[in-house]
Structures are given as structure tokens and as C-alpha cells.
């Protein structure tokens, strides 16, 4: 019962009275339609998880997580894993020596991107996740992942708020899979700009870049590469490190 009450409170805070009522009606209609046309399908294991023995698949709405009651939860976006090939393709476009950079995934969820990045010799790979439930799954995934496939330094998941996470003294590759809205993203980008102004280089991989204007209005980031659904940014002239 307490879980349902927590989800209802989260929905009320996020959508307001009118939005809450609309959401409730939409969910009732959806449930009725789904019940009428339900087809039982056998569960299918995600190819990434099947290959590496991990648990990174699945969609988790914020209202179903332990973090739903946190102040910034209303700005968070549901968890969904990034595609392995897309992540590898974006990393391949950076044209850097990974050993000079720390990789940070903001809103790292169950840790799939951390495991992919760990295949490169980054100085360290760090995931920032505000849901303890997802963070603990990520920790388990890191421990299960075949160690001979890890080329990076320490690979860790940290249960923290991205808006207040202290950036390490290093050049950074930052990954965002549309994890949160402008109020939180703006705080993170402000920290990144200050980090850049302290003399560090920063590259950003932004999947589903719905709030790219937060980066653009700083005038500190240039586009390194852009596809239909992914934006790659850099804070310095386009030269190899």
C-alpha cells in the first residue's frame, strides 16, 4: 500500500491536479484496452544481458522507484537502457586517448553504459544514479561483468544526486541519455562549464537531446558530431588528445 501511495504522491507533484486526473483516466482506459487484447508472450532475454550475464534491460518509470519521493524526482526521466551499438559508435567518434579522461554517465541506471565504456582504457568509469534500487543493480552488474573485458581503471556506480556530484580533477567524457529536465541539467552544465574554465577538456555524448539548448546557451560547447538522435559536443578545438 505504501508503494502505491508514494507513486500517487509523485504523480500529483509532477503533473498537478488537472494533469493527475487526465493521467488517471488515460491509465484506466489503457488498462481496459490491454486487458481486452492481452496476448501472453514468452519473456525474451535482452541480447546484451544474455551475452554478459547482466541485468540492464527493462523500462522503469520514476514513480515505481525508491527515488520517487526525492526533491528532484519530478525532473527525472524514466530508466531505459541505451543501445550497445549506438554507445560504441558515439565513443568511436571522440578521437581521444581515453587514458587521459574519466568517463561519467549521469543517470546511469542499471549500468549498461558503464560496462560498455569500461571496454576502453579510461582513467576511471563512474555512474551517477539517484535511485538506490537501480544503483544496487548496477553494482551487481559490474561485479558480474567478465573482468577480462574491462580495460578502464576503477568502474563504479555512485548513488548520488547528479546536480551536486563533485567532478573529479580530470578531463571528462560525459554521457547523458536524456536523464532529467532543464532544472537539473542546468545545474550539471554549470558545474561542467566551471570545470572547463579550470583547464579541463570536456566531451559530451547526449542521447535523445531534448534540452540541447542548455548546452548551447553557455557558448562553451561546439558540435563534434550530430545524428538523428545523438549529439556529441566538445569544449575545445577539435584536436586529438
| Nearest C-alpha neighbor of 202 from the set 117, 103, 124 | 103
Q: Are residues 35 and 88 in the same domain?
A: no
Q: Are residues 38 and 89 in the same domain?
A: no
Q: How far is the C-alpha of 15 from the C-alpha of 145, rounded, in Å?
A: 39
Q: Are residues 26 and 89 in the same domain?
A: no
Q: Are residues 98 and 202 in the same domain?
A: yes
Q: How far is the C-alpha of 188 from the C-alpha of 117, rounded, in Å?
A: 21
Q: Are residues 218 and 102 in the same domain?
A: yes
**pLDDT given at position 29:** 47
Q: How far is the C-alpha of 81 from the C-alpha of 131, rounded, in Å?
A: 15
Does 158 reside within a domain?
yes
Does 78 reside within a domain?
no
Q: Are residues 35 and 122 in the same domain?
A: no
**pLDDT given at position 47:** 94
* 227 phi and psi angles, rounded to 5 deg: -120, -170
Does 122 reside within a domain?
yes
**pLDDT given at position 70:** 78
Average pLDDT of the chain, as a whole number: 86
Does 72 reside within a domain?
no
Does 118 reside within a domain?
yes
**pLDDT given at position 241:** 45
CATH of the domain at 110: 3.40.50.150
Q: Are residues 17 and 89 in the same domain?
A: no
Q: Are residues 200 and 107 in the same domain?
A: yes
Q: Are residues 104 and 172 in the same domain?
A: yes
Q: Are residues 169 and 220 in the same domain?
A: yes
**pLDDT given at position 30:** 45
Write out the residue range of the structural domain in which residue 190 sits.
84-234
Q: Are residues 107 and 1 in the same domain?
A: no
**pLDDT given at position 234:** 96
Does 61 reside within a domain?
no
**pLDDT given at position 79:** 87
Q: Are residues 217 and 129 in the same domain?
A: yes
- Split into its structural domains, the chain has a count of 2
Does 77 reside within a domain?
no
**pLDDT given at position 24:** 53
pLDDT < 50 stretches in the chain: 1, 3-4, 12, 20, 29-30, 36-37, 238-241
CA 206 to chain centre: 9
**pLDDT given at position 215:** 97
In degrees to the nearest 10, what's the CA dihedral of 164, 167, 173, 178? 0
Does 56 reside within a domain?
no
Amino acid at each position: 500500500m505504501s508503494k502505491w501511495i508514494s507513486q500517487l504522491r509523485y504523480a500529483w507533484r509532477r503533473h498537478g491536479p488537472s494533469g493527475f486526473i487526465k493521467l488517471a483516466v488515460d491509465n484506466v482506459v489503457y488498462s481496459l484496452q490491454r486487458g481486452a487484447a492481452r496476448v501472453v508472450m514468452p519473456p525474451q532475454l535482452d541480447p546484451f544481458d544474455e551475452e554478459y550475464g547482466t541485468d540492464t534491460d527493462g523500462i522503469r518509470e520514476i514513480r515505481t522507484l525508491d527515488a520517487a519521493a526525492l526533491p528532484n524526482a519530478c525532473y527525472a526521466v524514466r530508466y531505459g537502457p541505451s543501445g550497445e551499438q549506438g554507445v560504441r559508435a558515439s565513443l568511436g567518434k571522440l578521437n581521444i586517448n581515453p587514458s587521459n579522461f574519466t568517463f561519467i554517465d549521469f543517470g546511469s541506471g542499471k549500468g549498461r553504459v558503464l560496462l560498455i565504456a569500461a571496454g576502453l582504457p579510461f582513467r576511471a568509469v563512474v555512474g551517477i544514479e539517484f535511485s538506490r534500487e537501480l544503483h544496487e543493480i548496477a553494482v551487481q552488474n559490474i561485479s558480474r561483468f567478465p573482468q577480462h573485458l574491462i580495460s578502464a581503471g576503477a568502474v563504479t556506480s555512485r548513488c548520488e544526486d547528479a546536480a551536486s556530484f563533485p567532478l573529479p580533477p580530470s578531463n571528462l567524457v560525459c554521457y547523458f541519455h536524456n536523464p532529467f529536465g532543464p532544472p537539473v541539467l542546468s545545474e550539471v552544465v554549470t558545474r561542467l562549464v566551471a570545470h572547463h574554465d579550470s583547464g579541463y577538456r570536456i566531451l559530451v555524448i547526449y542521447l535523445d537531446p531534448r534540452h540541447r539548448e542548455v548546452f548551447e546557451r553557455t557558448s562553451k560547447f561546439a558540435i563534434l558530431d550530430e545524428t538523428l538522435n545523438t549529439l556529441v559536443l566538445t569544449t575545445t578545438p577539435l584536436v586529438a588528445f
